[in-house]
Amino acid sequence: MNDVRAGRIRRLVGVYNADGTIRGELAYWVGARLGRAHCGLCDITHGRVRERSDWRQCRSGLPVAFDTYHRDDQPDEIRVTAGDRTPVIIADTDAGLVPLLGPDDIEACHGSPLRLAEALARAAERHQLGWD
């Protein structure tokens, strides 16, 4: 079988629906407790205060690095590719940047790192992307 791919994923980039400043982090934390702020990617990667151990384990099992940014500190090329939608996960490939998962896709993981890994694998396949 001929394995023709659109590109190979070199790394994954996730962007949280929150700002990374101390004020932004505090505003998100309070807003989340009051039901005014939500980030499906935050639910997957973090508990109330720190990074979740099941996320660390899942991330270490991914075939490529998974970098994260906040809305206010994401690189410009990621922001352009994401179209200012957050949370989002972008594949950085040898053929360029490819949006893999948007807010609804991430929310459908219901806070599960395992479901996120499965969604990433399906999205990569759908875009005919291989892993480095």
- How many angstroms separate the CA atoms of 114 and 97, rounded? 23
Q: Among the listed ranges 23-37, 47-61, 83-97, which one has the minimum average pLDDT value?
A: 23-37
Parent domain of 28: 7-131
Q: What is the dihedral of CA 1, 64, 125, 56, to 10 degrees?
A: 130
Number of domains the chain is built from: 1
Q: What CATH number does the domain containing 122 carry?
A: 3.40.30
Mean pLDDT of 75-95: 95
Confirm whether 1 is domain-assigned: no
Residue 94, pLDDT above cutoff 90:
yes
Contact (CB, 8 A) for 97 and 12: no
Confirm whether 82 is domain-assigned: yes
Mean pLDDT of 47-52: 85
* Per-residue pLDDT at 19: 85
**Is the Cα dihedral 68, 103, 75, 10 positive or negative?**
positive
What tokens does 108 get?
């459908």
pTM of this prediction exceeds 0.85: yes
Contact (CB, 8 A) for 26 and 93: no
1-44 per-position pLDDT tens digit? 334 446 899 999 999 998 877 776 767 777 677 777 689 999 99
Confirm whether 65 is domain-assigned: yes
Q: What is the dihedral of CA 36, 41, 47, 51, to 10 degrees?
A: -140
Residue 59, pLDDT above cutoff 80:
yes
Confirm whether 2 is domain-assigned: no
